[in-house]
Structure 1
């Protein structure tokens, strides 16, 4: 009898010990959790035939490393055309500058002509005034008077002609300035076009936008590709865990709380982490067909809320934790974040 009592006591004690171990009132746990990452499909920005491939499946690449290249013969030809167009635009501007400088010389010449014509017109007017007095006294002949009158009129006419010539040269100068503005705009357009061509040529080599793995390669040498085609899928080194907790478990869960994560792939190496954010809606709200609970047949279902968890990954597991891995997550809710 005593042996039975002792055995029963041992069983009950063991059960109590296990129960105390498993019962954690300040911990919420879920196995509905998975590793996530920003998986990105790499697409070319220019079209053409793939000429070289620099990576293999599942290869680790660094940011800026070449993934593949597109045949650049057409792009180099377009670059030569753009350079020639820019040279033509610059030459036209230099010619305009030379014409403008020459026009300034012509304007100065026209001004000097006006000065000379003005002085001659004043002289001829004074001489005509003097002969007008003398002809009244009959000190000079009528023919001399008429000849001087003609010379005075001609001098005034030459002065007006010189003024008109100056105005014409000034108009020509204004036209050259307007032409310079047009040529400057054409040069800027040629420079912008050359930049676009250079960018297109540079983009014939598709490079990794970040450090990560080449997870899914859909490109081969000789394949004709277009902008926007997803040709290489890259997985970055940065990962996090998305744990889907029941809504009834989240009363005391807040940002910053400590988390223990056990990956199914590494069950003997639990990871530490922390709650970084809680999705402000249940997972059902993001589904293709959100539930319509206003229908006649209603069954209450406990909803799941995604919780994002940042991991502290040890050096031995770097680059070994992949998106999609299953995990079991426990959040310590006793401490507020």
Structure 2
């Protein structure tokens, strides 16, 4: 019996070993598959979630803007006329006071010469009154009086003679010694003598008045009147000189000629028309611009975070790989409503990029605000809403394959990250790729 038992044992040992080996392999394979599945689930969870972390955040307000000149003006003459000369071309840089163009001025130059002649005449008359009567003028006037008196005496003598002849001829005619026609002749001579006497007496009176005036000198009101005439004539000269100066068009400030609207010989007027486009027409001569700034439109909800001298980072569509710098210069006190969107215009002085940026370029302006140190942040895509509450989904505390909703209080959103004020701690994981049954709850 014992031998038989031994013989059976010898015969069954290889099978037993084989069975044991297969069992061990099965157990190992099961353990391997189990471990591999666990690692795979963990990798999948890590792929769909991310850790809540601490970082330093800088608040930024991004707004659309446009590059525009700080100063821009259309230059035109004060009075309508023909353009005589234009001394600049588009793109030329000019200095304040530089002559840009000249209008025709020949008519004004002729008027100026005439006005200056009138000034000289009135000044001479005024000086004459101020200086009083010259001795030679008085002597001449006295001589004129004596001559007038002599003429009066002569006229009186002629009248006396004529009257005597009339008396004689009247007597002769009454006696029939002469004809009536002869009497009429001497009567006419008497009337002529009377008229001559009256004329010489009037001339004498005028000459005597002139002598009296010269002896007394000019009256104060005459001197005042002459002085006023001088001032009036000089004022006319100044007015014409101002008109002549207005025919010269000068640059009111340093800048660059951005547009040229007219050519020499063209008729231009003081009226200007707004021209935002380069192809727009204008009755102006040229357009002058100075400096560059950014005009940005900041939404109403963000305007409270914009401050004067605040740093601004600018990226132009024409230079997407370059960041230019600037500072806030002005915040408009009144909002602008465009298509039911309320915004405020903010002007930004450029610190860099003046040599590259051009007026009219579109830009994105990023207003750099306060820095938040050690801020608790999560990706913005992790934020969801459930039953009216804002929060995030976390892996289940008991079963990582399940999700748990956790309400959070949010702070500032900057780019693709959002600050969490309450509700999470560093190191917790939140879903950024939600299960299909949860994706409808994305905020």
TM-score (ref. length: structure 1) = 0.63
1:72 to 105, 117, 124: 105
Residue aligning to 2:174? none
Residue aligning to 1:310? 349
**Aligned 8 A contact 2:123 2:230 in 1:** yes
Post-superposition CA distance 1:81-122 (Å, at most 9, x none): 1111111111111111122687xx9xxxxxxxxxxxxxxxxx
**Aligned 8 A contact 2:103 2:247 in 1:** yes
- Number of corresponding residues: 250
Post-superposition CA distance 1:115-154 (Å, at most 9, x none): xxxxxxxxxxxxxxxxxxxxxxxxxxxxxxxxxxxxxxxx
Residue aligning to 1:44? 77
Shift of 1:16: 9.2
Find the aligned partners of 1:52 and 1:233 in 2 and give their Cα distance: 12
**Aligned 8 A contact 2:101 2:248 in 1:** yes
Shift of 1:25: 5.4
Find the aligned partners of 2:125 and 2:79 in 1 and give their Cα distance: 32
Find the aligned partners of 2:314 and 2:294 in 1 and give their Cα distance: 9
Which stretch of the first structure deviates more once superposed, 229-238 or 205-214? Answer: 229-238
Shift of 1:225: 2.5
Alignment partner of 1:35 is 2:74:
no
Helix, strand or coil: the match of 2:320? coil
Post-superposition CA distance 1:35-77 (Å, at most 9, x none): 2223211010233222222222333222222222222211210
Structure 1 unpaired stretches of 5+: 106-164, 292-300
**Aligned 8 A contact 1:70 1:205 in 2:** yes
Q: Which protein is richer in strand relative to its size?
A: 2
Residue aligning to 1:244? 297
Residue aligning to 1:110? none
Residue aligning to 1:99? 132
Shift of 1:264: 2.1
Alignment partner of 1:275 is 2:307:
no
Residue aligning to 1:81? 114
Tell me which structure has the larger Cα radius of gyration.
2
Alignment partner of 1:333 is 2:376:
no
Shift of 1:241: 1.1
Find the aligned partners of 1:313 and 1:228 in 2 and give their Cα distance: 37
- Structure 2 matches for 1:113-262, cutoff 5 A? 172-173=216-217, 176-229=219-272, 230-262=283-315
Residue aligning to 1:158? none
Post-superposition CA distance 1:257-297 (Å, at most 9, x none): 2111122233333222212222122112xx7xxx9xxxxxx
TM-score (ref. length: structure 2) = 0.49
Structure 2 unpaired stretches of 5+: 1-35, 139-208, 273-282, 372-443
Find the aligned partners of 1:42 and 1:250 in 2 and give their Cα distance: 36
Find the aligned partners of 2:85 and 2:78 in 1 and give their Cα distance: 16
Find the aligned partners of 2:134 and 2:313 in 1 and give their Cα distance: 80
**Aligned 8 A contact 1:78 1:197 in 2:** yes
Higher relative contact order (Cα pairs below 8 Å, separated by 6+ residues): 1
Residue aligning to 2:14? none
Find the aligned partners of 2:60 and 2:344 in 1 and give their Cα distance: 17
Instruction: Specify whether residues 232 and 50 from structure 1 end up closer, same or farther in structure 2 by C-alpha distance, changes over 3 A only.
Output: closer
Instruction: Specify whether residues 8 and 233 from structure 1 end up closer, same or farther in structure 2 by C-alpha distance, changes over 3 A only.
Output: farther
Find the aligned partners of 1:91 and 1:217 in 2 and give their Cα distance: 49
Helix, strand or coil: the match of 1:187? helix
Q: Aligned-pair RMSD on alpha carbons?
A: 3.5
Instruction: Specify whether residues 277 and 70 from structure 1 end up closer, same or farther in structure 2 by C-alpha distance, changes over 3 A only.
Output: closer
